[in-house]
Amino acid sequence: MTWQLRVGAVQMRSTGDLKANLASCAELTARAADKGAQVVALPECFSFLGRGEGDKLAIAETFSEGGPVITMLRELAIKHHVYMLGGGTPELVPGDARRTYNTALVVNPGGHLISRYRKIHLFDVDIPGGATLRESDATAPGDEVVVVDIGGAPVGLTICYDVRFPELYRRLVKDKGAEVLMVPAAFTAHTGAAHWHLLLRARAIEDQAWVVAPAQWGRHNDKRESYGHTLVVDPWGTVVDELETGDGVIVATLHGESVRHRRAQMPCLDHAVLWK
């Protein structure tokens, strides 16, 4: 029997106040659970979004101990009996006092950390007419491609800027069997207006997979503004649901049958050549 999964994608506006951010996560997770979500996906930077890249060092965790971020994810998973995807939070790098990983965490309904993905592609850009951002100043890149079983669905984990690198998604699908692609993000307002919908729909279409993209929205401080537009996209590239602005959650039921139908109807993945 094919899998079916009800997913809640959270949109929020994080700041440099860890306690307030975690309170928002709790409120929005409860909303998603009330709508029947089996998985609640939080955006990138759900725990903290400061003015400078180095600010996050103060709240970074190892996740093997009971820090506030992992404790919250575990408590919410148990309370609401859901899988929690913490879409990107600072993880301490052993032996590196200057940088953290940008890490997505998956906690199961029993409160156990079952998977983590460390963001591979770091956002170092000079945006025309926008900001200059250097994520690598205080972030170490990951190097592992991660797919995790969530309620029977093979889910590929990515974060934000990764969405611009289709070869990562092709590996998630062709090599590791992903049928759902998670893209939690804090996309800038400038680049989001130009590319957010195009990139997410392209990843869904070319990989014939569901795409779930929980997002940050609005002005976080005097240096950062995010685009919002939390999306769920089906394997045909159709936007199933969207939240343009404001704190909130969209909930959609994903199913493996639509993946199999589209891949049989148009067998692009069978025809794909993976170049070395």
Tokens of 253: 């039921």
Distances (CA, A) of 28 to 16, 34, 71, 80, 246: 18, 10, 17, 12, 12
Q: Both tokens of residue 52?
A: 């400078």
Q: Is 135 a catalytic residue?
A: no
Indicate which residue of 45, 56, 61, 160 is catalytic.
160
Residue 56 annotated as catalytic: no
Catalytic residue among 45, 61, 91, 119: 119
44 is catalytic: yes
- State in Å, rounded, how far the first CA of the chain is from the last one: 35
**How far from 120 is each of 64, 153, 267, CA to CA, in Å?**
21, 23, 29
Helix axes 68-80, 18-34, angle to 10 degrees: 20
Q: List, by residue number, the catalytic residues.
A: 44, 119, 160
